[in-house]
Homo-oligomer: A and B are copies of this chain.
Amino acid sequence: MSELDIEKHVNCGIEQALKIFGDRWSLLVIRNVLMGINRFDSLQDGLDISRNILTRRLNDLEEEGLLVKTPIKKGAKRMMYNPTAKCLALVPVLIAMIDWSKNWSLDKEKKWSSVVDRSTNEEVHIAIVDENQQPVPMSNLKLRF
């Protein structure tokens, strides 16, 4: 059995999140948009995603309020896609995934993507904390779903 206790299922944040970005491409589109890649064609050839699928993802993410689609300049018909605050708020999810991959990947030598503090240039990581920002060990956790 798991090291974590069991409890009843309530409205699940994981399910909710997966409904919005739980497909093959959304998080990669988000990653690239967060890096400032905001035009259709550069997203398309950066990701090597099919154009029709990219169209759909961009529209869905816009509808969910993760992206804003605006003309590249006033009145222009060509668009750019920029992250909203709701999108930026996914950075902890991305860092958690990066941390996990780095810690559990077999090829330890490789250079990994990371997120750094701009002022110190040091890598940042994810910590599990209580209400007072004090770290909580994993072994102390109980999942409530």
Contacts and interface: CB of A to CB of B under 8 A. Distances in A.
A128 B118 contact: no
A1 B89 CA distance: 16
A36 B4 contact: yes
3 smallest beta-carbon distances between A and B, as pairs = A13-B98, A13-B101, A17-B97
A18 to B, nearest CB: 6
8 contacts: A10-B112, A12-B112, A12-B113, A16-B101, A18-B24, A91-B143, A93-B96, A115-B142
Nearest to A132: B122
Interface string A109-135: 011111111111011111111110101
Contacts of A112: 10-13
A52 to B, nearest CB: 20
A50 interface: no
Given A124-B128, A125-B128, A130-B120, A18 B13 contact: no
A145 B2 contact: no
A70 to B, nearest CB: 11
Interface string A19-60: 000111001100101111110000000000000000000000
